[in-house]
Amino acid sequence: MEFALDNPLFWFAVLQIIAIDILLGGDNAVVIALACRSLPEHQRKKGIFWGVAGAIILRVALTAFAVTLLSIPYLKIVGGLLLFWIGCKLIIPDDGNEDEEINASTTLIGAIKTIIIADFVMSLDNVIAVAAAAKDSVLLIVFGLLVSIPIIVWCSQIILKMMDRYPVIITVGGALLGYIAGDMMARDPSVDVWVKDHAVWLQSYHIAGVVGAIAVVAIGKAFAVRRSSSAAAEST
């Protein structure tokens, strides 16, 4: 499809891409908010901006090679495990280290890396939809994603404020990452045929995703309890 601003089909494709990004932006907004929740107030916007910028660049590149990437066996399993680890790590509360302010720049970089990696992993399942809407036009993909950036950033800042007020959202966000990870691994090309032949319920009833969500929360909470016990023991 030509990059023509006077072409109605062009704008229809752009609207499709934006709609896809809005639907998928909730996941990304949760990741951004989770990754930036421990940053000082004056660094949160920087973390969100650079994290989203890096994630969008990666998504454009990933979309261009979506079909090839998603057909590689074990890629979704590796990505799911990585996302699972990120979900567990984000549920664990801060250790209350007073030196955190000194290491603020390192923490900012860490938040940006978390956003980019998580977005990369989570994009593996949804970039095909964007590529289909763009009719293989990389320029259209870039245009549509750039339009959707403010939407994703706006959603992430709202969720970030809600996390400060309602900490339970952090646990829900971690569970969401676990759900996506479990569902993603159950649909990897290396196991997809076996699952459909012997355990189709893992996909059709989203059992793999539910198990992943429960596992992330359980492991994250277990580490949180262990950290709290260790901190209490050190203070006595």
Residue among 117, 107, 113 at smallest CA distance from 39: 107
Q: How far apart are CA 167 and CA 176, in angstroms?
A: 15
What residue segments make up the domains of the chain, in order of their start? 8-229
Taking a C-beta distance cutoff of 8 angstroms, is the pair 60, 189 a contact?
no
What pTM did the predictor assign?
Answer: 0.62
- Give the per-residue pLDDT at 213: 93
Q: Averaged over 13-31, what is the pLDDT? A: 67
Percent share of the chain, pLDDT over 70 = 68
- For residue 135, pLDDT over 50 is answered with yes
Q: Return mean pLDDT, the chain.
A: 74
- Name the residue with tokens 């793999």: 208
- For residue 21, pLDDT over 70 is answered with no
- Give the per-residue pLDDT at 177: 82
Which of the two residues, 157 and 40, has the higher pLDDT score?
Answer: 40
Q: How many CB atoms lie within 10 A of CB 56?
A: 20
- Give the per-residue pLDDT at 215: 95
- For residue 68, pLDDT over 70 is answered with no
- For residue 23, pLDDT over 60 is answered with no
- Give the per-residue pLDDT at 104: 32
Q: Highest-confidence range of 108-122, 128-142, 190-204, by mean pLDDT?
A: 190-204
- Give the per-residue pLDDT at 43: 81
